[in-house]
Chain A
């Protein structure tokens, strides 16, 4: 069995679990628990270990998707998951500037732990109050337009949108020499 492991990360409420549910062929193995911290204001439950989804696209070839928790207190899980990942998608909600700071911290954590191909997925780009792409990049600490990762709008609830983003990520993977 050939497997590609992709991690979906991002701040609380960015849409990580949703994205995996949208694309997975199996019922997602989630570890949602009732939120009792400030997360509860945003959504009733929160991932405390990881989500797991699978997509088998050919005999003996599958994509495994792992979703991380968003809160920094679970950074040991971030570490466990990212170490084994081939690539990752970092999700950020474009119309929630209050999450950019924690997003930046997740991003710098991931970037330091694993130098692997990645993609930034921007959700809610079409909502009122959404920041524009370049402003978000800066808020995430990505100062250099030339070297920053690819950033694409994504709708985690829509299978076609998720497929497109994954396709873009695979392109990044094909660019990475170590994998071929």
Chain B
């Protein structure tokens, strides 16, 4: 099955999260579109391949020659050798693995090829206007695969750590008036940075991001970005602030001075509600059944 949408609706980072959690295999095609910054820009297509939720390859062509052209460009093997060897590569074996078995490439070289592909994928996180199509019904292009792979979530978190221009993610970032709440899971090997962990300390849902920024003496944007990484990593979710403290006046419903009534309501999660009897529910069910 395929998923198609615009990168405005779902960011690449969120897509990678989906691919990871749903252990998807297949091809993610990214097509860049002209945008307000570059109205004359051409459309480029990129193809990112996943297997069982892991990132395995990224290329900008569909002729299966991406990996070998990287190898010949670096002068590691001649065009002739590459062609002769790749024609003998067994079905469903990554070309990178085959070259290593044949002793023509070392694992360091494979790592370098893989990180080139990773960098290409990471650069796409800045794409501001584009469409994507995730097709889970296509076989892997073994010619483009080094044999190395990485958790999609780690690819996304890594890309976000290096991201300079966050414009593409503006809509995805949690609002500064929201707080973060821990999901109660501890994920060990998360690729998060020091600031992310500092923000993580506030994951009780009680402090708005803009106030976290003040406390940590950081810009609000930096805190929003850190919170987004934590959300992506599945560590926290964005929630409205629960118990507002004196320094949080943003959601105040009272216009002039007093503390807000709405917040008082929000604080008391359990409003007394008239109870509904079991017989009531049974009556309702039989009524609905007659309508269904």
Question: A residues touching B (Cβ–Cβ < 8 Å)?
Answer: 2-5, 57-58, 61, 63, 75-76, 79-80, 83-84, 86, 97-98, 100-101, 105, 108-109, 112-115, 129, 131-132, 134-135, 138-139, 141, 143, 159-160, 163-164, 166-167, 170-171, 173-174, 178-180
**Contact status A97-B5, CB under 8 Å:** yes
Q: Are A79 and B9 in contact (CB under 8 A)?
A: no
Contact assessment for A83 and B9 in the assembled complex, using a CB-CB cutoff below 8 Å: no
Interface residues of B in 1-51 (CB under 8 A from A): 1, 3-6, 8-10, 14, 17-18, 21-22
Q: Are A101 and B171 CB-contacts (below 8 A) given A109-B239, A132-B1, A170-B284?
A: yes
- Enumerate chain B residues within 8 angstroms of A164, measured Cβ to Cβ: 288, 292
Q: State which residues 261-276 of B face A: CB under 8 Å.
A: 262, 265-266, 269, 271, 273-276
A-B contact pairs, 14 of them (CB 8 A): A4-B280, A58-B283, A58-B287, A63-B284, A105-B238, A109-B240, A112-B181, A113-B266, A131-B3, A139-B10, A160-B292, A166-B288, A170-B281, A174-B281
- Describe B's contact surface by its main secondary structure: mixed
- Chain A residues, CB < 8 A from B69: none
> Which B residues are within 8 Å of any A CB, using their own CB?
1, 3-6, 8-10, 14, 17-18, 21-22, 171-172, 181, 183, 205, 231, 234, 237-240, 242, 253, 262, 265-266, 269, 271, 273-278, 280-281, 283-285, 287-289, 291-292
Q: Are B266 and A135 in contact (CB under 8 A)?
A: no
Q: Give the complex CA separation of A143 and B236 in angstroms.
A: 11
Evaluate contact between A115 and B269: CB separation under 8 angstroms: yes
Known: A97-B10, A138-B21. A84 touches B273 (CB 8 A): yes
A11 to chain B, nearest CB (A): 12
